Structure 1
Amino acid sequence: MSNLKIYKASAGSGKTFQITREYLKLIFQEPTAYRHILAVTFTNKATAEMKGRILSELYLLASGQPSQHLDTLMSVSGIPEEALRKLANKILKSVLHDYSRFSVSTIDSFFQRVVRAFTREIRLHASFRTELDHRAILEEAVERLFLGIDDNELLREWFLDFAEQTLQVGQNWNFKQHILERGSEIFGEAFRTFDEELIARMEDKEFLADYGKKLKMIAEEFDERMADIGRKAIALMTSHGLSPESFKYGKTSFASYFPKLTEGKYEPVRGY
């Protein structure tokens, strides 16, 4: 039985590089090993990156180009460079022609496959579908968040800032609903594409508070820049005796967008 290897490292320190090397070492010792290697990641983005790295390195080796893994693979396999590059070409072709068995998937996709393989044994219908009750988990998390307001000054300040922002944009005073809407974003694929270091620091309340302030500053600068563009456009039209109605489509012309910019409203104009 092989030894268990654990790699612990922060974002950007080369985890993907090291895991790619370990994968290559396995398939160069046994060219068909890719059919039996279990490789799982957290996100679809990481899955695509891992597959791309492995195929890219195989291509570099097969095409005679420099590779950071060449010396290691020669040492592990005991194969000279020329023979190893020929083997890389053979492995690359095998993987591409047998791509469905080149398995690098997310953890949730892997468990879906496991459950689906045993649907008969666990008495599930073959067309079953797994759904997670994200809403229940999120609601409990928000309830706990509210319970911590009295004892957490930073959290209290965050709520006050959030309330102020909510009122400024004319939304209702339903704190819980707004927080639930924002919190639901963490279950989406878009959230998973964030940098790993940022996600890892989500529990650092001081970091989040500072990060929120920076985002707010960026948003305010953007609003002011857009408002300035709107004011200049209106002034230019006025100096030439023009109004939004002077253009094609009248009140719904592109020019009707400028007053909206001065008010911080970015709804698209019909037809544009």
Structure 2
Amino acid sequence: MKAFHVITASAGSGKTYTLCEHFITIAVSDPQQLKHGFKRILAVTFTNKAAAELKFRILQTLQDIHNENPSVAKLTSSITTTLGISTSELQQRCIRVHQFILHQYSQFSVSTLDSFTHKLVRAFHQELELPGPFTIELDVKGFYNRIIGELMDLFGKNATVTGVVSDFARSRIHDAGHWDPQFLLWSFTELLEQERARPYIEIIRQFKDSELKAQHESIVKSIFYYQTEVVKRADAVFQYASSHGITAAMCIGKSRGFWAVLQKIKKQQTCRPEFFENTHFEKC
């Protein structure tokens, strides 16, 4: 058998059947290791339901092969051909493996990916520099609340944390008009959960703190420059409109359309993106 075998299949095309065949083939391949062979096989899937189904199918198939069930005749033929053994020999191996699995069910390694990862991390927690009695946090909101609380405890004590939180709060207060830094941080965590944010998070992780600060300052300067330019241009449009006798009533949407956008820009207020679509002066 190949050491690495990739099976590509769509939904409902028989992945469970194929995985079951491979598992049994490996488990019964060595007659001297029937008691322990299955322990050396790791099968992982995405959900608990799929893992339970695969376990059931493996045990059921082992029994069906031994009982000469016609439904597994094709599978039996495939395994005997692969291993080069007789059907009766395969039947005896299958029933023995079936019994060994039932007697050592905890060693039957068919689980979910997250369950396997958890076991792996727990086994190597010292190498990963994690505390021994760590727990898996499933309540994401509770996790964020605790992290934000710990971060705020360092505010005023740790210079780096104080600087970052202060800069973040100042920038968000200007945009959102809210003064509570904990609320602002909590609002920001909602962005982190979005799938589209992940590529950007990975990019940000590559920068050092000093580099991020420099990038932030550069972006803030650019935003300020463009905001100033847009306000200047909005003011210029108002001056042009005033000198040519153009009023809000002459615009699409009147005082709620293009004219309203200009007023908001001039006052440096936030405008929704759709305000900039399909807005123009009527012909005079």
TM-score (norm 1): 0.50
Instruction: Please give the alpha-carbon distance, in whole angstroms, between the structure 1 residues aligned to 2:242 and 2:141.
Output: 51
Q: 152, 162, 167: which one pairs with 2:158?
A: 152
Matched, 1:261 2:194: no
- Relative to structure 1, is the Cα distance of residues 199 and 225 closer, same or farther in structure 2, using a 3 angstrom cutoff? same
Structure 1 equivalent of residue 221 of structure 2: 217
Q: Are positions 1:164 and 2:170 aligned together?
A: yes
The equivalent position to 2:50 in structure 1, one of 97, 117, 124, is 117
- Identity %, equivalent residues: 12
The SS at the match of 2:259 is helix
Distance 1:159 1:147, change over 3 A: same
Instruction: Give, in angstroms, the shift of residue 146 of structure 1.
Output: 1.0
Q: Which residue of 2 aligns with 1:12?
A: none
Q: How far does the alpha carbon of each residue in 1:64-96 deviate from its partner, in whole angstroms, 9 at most, with x for none?
A: xxxxxxxxxxxxxxxxxxxxxxxxxxxxxxxxx
Residue of structure 1 equivalent to 2:6: 34
TM-score between both structures, scaled by the size of structure 2: 0.48
The 5-angstrom pairing of residues 60-75 of structure 1 reads none
Question: Within the alignment, does 1:239 sit opposite 2:243 as a pair?
Answer: yes
Q: 1:11-22, aligned counterparts within 5 Å?
A: none
1:249 aligns with 2:253: yes
Shift of 1:226: 2.1
Whether the aligned pair in 2 keeps the contact of 1:148 and 1:155 (CA below 8 Å) is: yes
* Aligned AA (2:246): L
Instruction: Judge conservation of contact 1:254–1:269 (CA < 8 Å) in 2.
Output: yes
Question: How many angstroms does 1:208 deviate by?
Answer: 3.0
**SS of the counterpart of 1:150?**
coil
Q: Which amino acid aligns with 2:271?
A: Y
Q: Which has the higher contact order (CA 8 A, sep 6+)?
A: 1
Q: Does 1:194 align with 2:173?
A: no
Q: What is the count of residue pairs matched by the alignment?
A: 167
Q: Which structure has the greater CA radius of gyration?
A: 2
**Counterpart-to-counterpart distance in 1, 2:180 and 2:52:** 43
The one-letter code matched in structure 2 to 1:145 is L
Question: Conserved in 2, the CA contact under 8 Å of 1:154 and 1:205?
Answer: no
Change (3 A) 1:132 1:111: farther
Cα distance in 2 for partners of 1:175, 1:112 equals 41
**Change over 3 Å in CA distance of 1:170–1:112 after alignment to 2:** same
Q: For structure 2, list consecutive stretches of 5 or more residues without a partner in the other structure.
A: 16-42, 56-113, 115-136, 279-284
Which runs of 5 or more structure 1 residues have no equivalent in the other structure? 4-25, 27-32, 37-97, 104-109, 123-129
